[in-house]
A and B are shown apart, each in its own frame.
Chain A
Amino acid sequence: MSGTKTWAIILVIIMTGLTSSAQVMYKLAASPGASLIEVLFSRYLWAGLFLYGIGFILLNIAFRGGEVSTLYPIIATSYIWVAVLSYSLFNEHLSSLKLIGIFAIVVGVALISRSDKSGAVAEEVPV
């Protein structure tokens, strides 16, 4: 079994942080009432695209160090960053349902990232 390197998992998590910030940048660029030209020349749009590009490169580097079926679901952590960022920046409501959802994603990502290491033999997996 080839297994997935820890650095690849960390890279994917860093990448989700970058792409989530990029999404926040897009939201700032597409502020209500802004015209198409204003959006196209917005600093936020280009900053977002830049972050997205770096995220894309990081994802491809990460793919060299692990399995797609392990690394790809970890991208779901971006939902956590988006929820937290929109709570802190746009004062969007962080409901209890969302908090439970965030917790479920954390548990899921923890299980997935340890799934290669525990292998076929069942070990004690602290979550």
Chain B
Amino acid sequence: MAATITSILLVLIAQVIGAPMPILLKKWSGGFSFGKIIANLRHSFLTLVQLATILGGLVLLGLGVIGIYPIYRDEPVFGFGVMINPIPILCVLSIIAGFALLYRWSVQFDRLLMGGLFCMAVSTVLFIAGLRGGDLSVLYPLVSTIYIWVCLLSVKFLGERMNSQKWVGIACVIVGVALIGFGSS
């Protein structure tokens, strides 16, 4: 029944960063059509610079993911705390840089999709880093706050309506996830 402040903060920030993901994807999937993609492909041909940007982005992404791997496996990384340790920070920066490069290219692609994937990736990395420093019984209740953030954002940006039944349902889900967390430790 314990968690360090760092891991609590990491997990909470991960949920807040992850919350825009469904909003962006909802907007993206609403405007998705195969016809648009085919039309875009017909108009765009990849120049060498574009190809280099994509490759560079993918390489940086891969490096970041491989660097994060020991953290996922719970192996010691030079024995500092998660926050002081330069490796995870470098990995996160590398993932951000990779996405930035892919985003440059994504004029022809789709910025909503890229934004959604970016939120998903950063929040997953922070979440995995945060999970190391605490019990699930403390962290799972924090994880389930994401449903509140997502609903607030969907009211603000998608004009959706909440009703009391939805809030009660979300409260039940949060209690349920918290109980599963308590039961796991």
Which residues on A are within 8 Å of B, measured CB to CB?
A: 1, 30, 36, 39, 59-61, 63-64, 67-73, 76, 79, 83, 95-98, 100-112, 114-115, 118, 120, 125
Interface SS of chain B:
helix
Q: A69-B154, A76-B147 are in contact. Are A105 and B173 (CB under 8 A)?
A: yes
Range, interface on chain B:
35 or more
Q: Which of B147-184 contact A (CB under 8 A)?
A: 147, 150-151, 154-155, 158, 160-163, 165-166, 168-184
CB < 8 Å neighbour of B166 from A69, A105, A106, A125: A69
Check B25 against A111 for contact (C-beta < 8 Å): no
Chain B residues in contact with chain A, CB under 8 A? 22-23, 25-26, 28-30, 32, 66, 69, 72-73, 144, 147, 150-151, 154-155, 158, 160-163, 165-166, 168-184
A64, A109, A112: the one contacting B29 at CB < 8 Å is: A64
* Chain A residues within 8 Å of B26, by CB: 63, 68
B69 with A68: CB separation less than 8 A: no
Known: A64-B29, A111-B172. A102 touches B180 (CB 8 A): yes
